[in-house]
Structure 1
Amino acid sequence: MMPYSTVRFFCSVVAAFARLVRELRKAVAMAASSSSAAAVSPPVGLIAAAPLPLRRKKLLAALAPPQPQPPVVARPAEVCDAAAGVSVAGVVDQQPQQAESKRKKTSAWSARGRPSRLVIPVADDAGELAAGWGAAAAAATEADVVVEGEGFWVASRAGPRHSMEDAYSVVTHKNGGDSQLAFYGVFDGHGGRGAVDFVSQRLGENVVSAVLAAGSEARDEAPSAAEEDDDAVSAAIRAAYLATDSELLAQHQQGASAGGACAATALVRGSDLYVAHLGDCRAVLSRGGGVAAALTADHTCAAEGERARIERGGGFVSRSGSGVWRVQGSLAVSRAFGDSGLKRWVLAEPAVARVPLRAGCEFLVVASDGLWDKVSNQEAVDVVSRSRNAAATSSVARSCVELVDMARRRGSRDDVTVMVIDLERFVR
């Protein structure tokens, strides 16, 4: 028979165990009731699907008193992970992969939430303003063209807005036995490459052929007759321009792509320089030790004479929101090759200037408006003059590149083409 003290001890143990069981049940019930509605406990029949170590961790977490947690803001990547519904049975094996995946997603989310880094190019020359167009970054993808020819140099760069629509043309070989006959041209297209490609291929040939066909009487004209604007060579150049325009319009009627092109050309014949142009391409002469002299005047709707001519022909000129005057509210130049829809007002008859080549005529700068919109005539001449003083032919080519860079640094988003022509080689 067991002593009374022993029986009393066992009874106290049983009572303590019963109280412990009740407390455990209360703790489990309180933990279940305090959990959020999103964390719904699985049915009793599915609890065994979880591995034993995981069940023990859940039980200990339920028994532990609740700890205050700092507020957590769920990131988009974490919300997506919670909605994915990962199977409980594969949690242990997939934890390293999930941690790495979550780290990558979190990093990607952070990168998306952060604004992109701004790159602002800084102008190198004093007085130039830094443009916010990221021209320095665009140079890596642009195809720069640098050409060193016989007595001429060219640098060209496409703008960031569209594909390259500038072109150039040179005819310097002997034409009909005349070694003093040379043609140079810079062209600026609009509305696609069709027009500028055609004009750059055909205009030089047409001008040279027309001038040679004009005969030799223009070579030995009297000085008084040579000063007239409408001499035989100037008339031949005008006729070549109009013929080239007619050929281009005929292609447009046959279904070829429309569009147009501006031009500035120089023809050296004997001891005379003939400069012709349409639109806003420009030719600037350097003479007398680096003094700039413009040989062209831009054909734009801002010119009073051009505006009056268009209005007399039944057209109109309007100013766009950017402040640019345009023919029929469309085209900014008033003369150009092509542009068949506006041909009634946009003429292809060029302005032609004749300059006798005398001592002091140094070089000619011919460029598209991508340069002249940002660089003045005298600045362009100064840059080339500095390079010529270096007594190296390659330095003139570098001056062309320098002018292209200068226009881009100052904010030009247009195509830029610069040609420098040595005139001293033609001076007799």
Structure 2
Amino acid sequence: MTLHTTVRFFCSVVAAFARLVRELRRAASSSAMSSPVGLIATAPLPLRRKTKLVAALAPPQPSSVVARPAEVCDAVVSGVGAVDQPQQAESKRKKTTAWSARGRPSRLVIPVANDAGELAAGWGAAAAPVKEADVEVEGEGFWLASRAGPRHAMEDAYSVVTHKNGGDSQLAFYGVFDGHGGRAAVDFVSQRLGQNVVSAVLAAGAERRDEASLVVVEDDDAVSAAIRAAYLATDSELLAQHQQGASGGACAATALVTGGDLYVAHLGDCRAVLSRDGGAAAALTADHTCAAEGERARIERGGGFVSRSGSGVWRVQGSLAVSRSFGDAGLKRWVLAEPAVARVPLRAGCEFLIVASDGLWDKVGNQEAVDVVLRSRNAAATSSVARSCAELVDMAQRRGSRDDVTVMVVDLERFVR
């Protein structure tokens, strides 16, 4: 065999070996293409994540629709391995469209919570108990309506003493009270203050009669002093009885009729408004709040401080919004229980008195409240006045009052001599 023949033989062997290698590689590639393991391994990560996300977010379905997540998985997997084949690609597009229409998670319906801000502020637990029913009272010469606010249990109260006291049929006491920090203080004050005031005024009257021949004492000074003493005595009793950890307090606005005069006393932001001369409103109280310059100066002279909260409310020691009240033992150095007292002679033209908690006055003006009651009085039916109290409560809450609202109307014409 010549050299030329040997070379040609060797080249043909190499060519045959190369063809064999190519065939083996083609066979291996075809085998991998048809392998189920290869399909799963080549599934794009975003698609697999999307499948898991759908399964996680989809809400529970009725039993007839439970199989839907399996259909979604099948559509995704069968589409992945056919990306290079036109017919299977079209099948993938149709199945994916069907999945989008059938397998999309339902819209999440999130209920809107009422009073979301208050729940966040920690009022949710206190608002859970069932609220007290609306209170409407029609008594001897007075009418009252009261309703709890949504924030907490009812902390308003009232007191009336209208029976003959010491033989004086013209002596009567009316009061509205607004508690804070629980019911302990407001319950105590509403039970004790009326009797303390009446007893103090009767005692002052007896002393005045005994000393009439020796000393001349102006009637309003003696009665006003007796009322102040009764307020302070009630506060001392409250602090003594609730000295073990009690921190709550109560505001008050009270009216005493005696000897043809009206005495209005108050602590805090309860208010009394007089209607006279055909419906002209006259406020007989000025709110005891830290926004009042005189009250703020008094607190600072006593070593305390007044700061303004983020909501714009001035507070004693950054805590209490009123500067005078019953109780509040921890702030008693600055938060006094000495009331302001006003005397009004009951003459022709004095019509009625509105006494109410700040839940009303925060939303309803003095003259506006008088106008509502006046319209009811003009209806010539006592029940209409009772309805006017409820109307004022409704008005305050419609305008956004979140506080307890208590409204009392006192007929003054029955005391005019």
CA distance in 1: counterparts of 2:241 and 2:234, whole angstroms: 11
Tell me, yes or no, if the aligned pair for 1:155 and 1:417 is still in contact at 8 Å.
yes
| Of 192-201 and 302-311, the range deviating more from structure 2 | 302-311
Helix, strand or coil at the partner of 1:236: helix
Tell me, yes or no, if the aligned pair for 1:290 and 1:381 is still in contact at 8 Å.
yes
Could you state the TM-score of these two structures normalised by the residue count of structure 1? 0.70
Q: 1:116 aligns to what?
A: 111
Q: 2:195 aligns to what?
A: 205
Q: Deviations over 1:312-343 (max 9, x none)?
A: 11111111111111111111111110111111
Q: 1:383 aligns to what?
A: 372
Determine whether 1:164 maps to 2:164: no
| CA drift at 1:270 | 2.5
Q: 1:182 aligns to what?
A: 172
Tell me, yes or no, if the aligned pair for 2:59 and 2:106 is still in contact at 8 Å.
no
Could you state the TM-score of these two structures normalised by the residue count of structure 2? 0.71
Q: Deviations over 1:333-381 (max 9, x none)?
A: 1111011111111111111111111111000000011111111110010
CA distance in 1: counterparts of 2:362 and 2:157, whole angstroms: 18
What code does the residue aligned with 1:147 have? V
Q: Deviations over 1:33-86 (max 9, x none)?
A: 6864799xxxxxxxxxxxxxxxxxxxxxxxxxxxxxxx98835365989xxxxx
Distance change >3 Å, CA 277–CA 38, structure 1 → 2: farther
Say which of 358, 367, 370 aligns to 1:369: 358
Tell me, yes or no, if the aligned pair for 1:219 and 1:270 is still in contact at 8 Å.
no
Unaligned runs of 5+ in 1: 1-25, 40-70, 82-93, 121-137
What is the aligned-residue identity percentage? 79
Helix, strand or coil at the partner of 1:301: coil
| CA drift at 1:187 | 0.4
Q: Deviations over 1:279-299 (max 9, x none)?
A: 110000000000000111111
Q: 2:277 aligns to what?
A: 288
Q: Deviations over 1:375-425 (max 9, x none)?
A: 111001000000101111111111111111111111111111100000011
Distance change >3 Å, CA 207–CA 80, structure 1 → 2: closer
Determine whether 1:407 maps to 2:403: no
Q: 1:173 aligns to what?
A: 163
Unaligned runs of 5+ in 2: 1-29, 44-49, 71-101, 116-127
Distance change >3 Å, CA 38–CA 147, structure 1 → 2: farther
CA distance in 2: counterparts of 1:296 and 1:268, whole angstroms: 16
Say which of 247, 250, 266 aligns to 1:258: 247
Helix, strand or coil at the partner of 1:215: helix
What aligned pairs does 1:43-122 form with structure 2 within 5 A after superposition? 74-76=54-56, 110=106, 113-116=108-111
What code does the residue aligned with 1:193 have? R
CA distance in 2: counterparts of 1:216 and 1:186, whole angstroms: 28
Distance change >3 Å, CA 95–CA 205, structure 1 → 2: closer
CA distance in 2: counterparts of 1:78 and 1:284, whole angstroms: 61
CA distance in 2: counterparts of 1:95 and 1:242, whole angstroms: 72
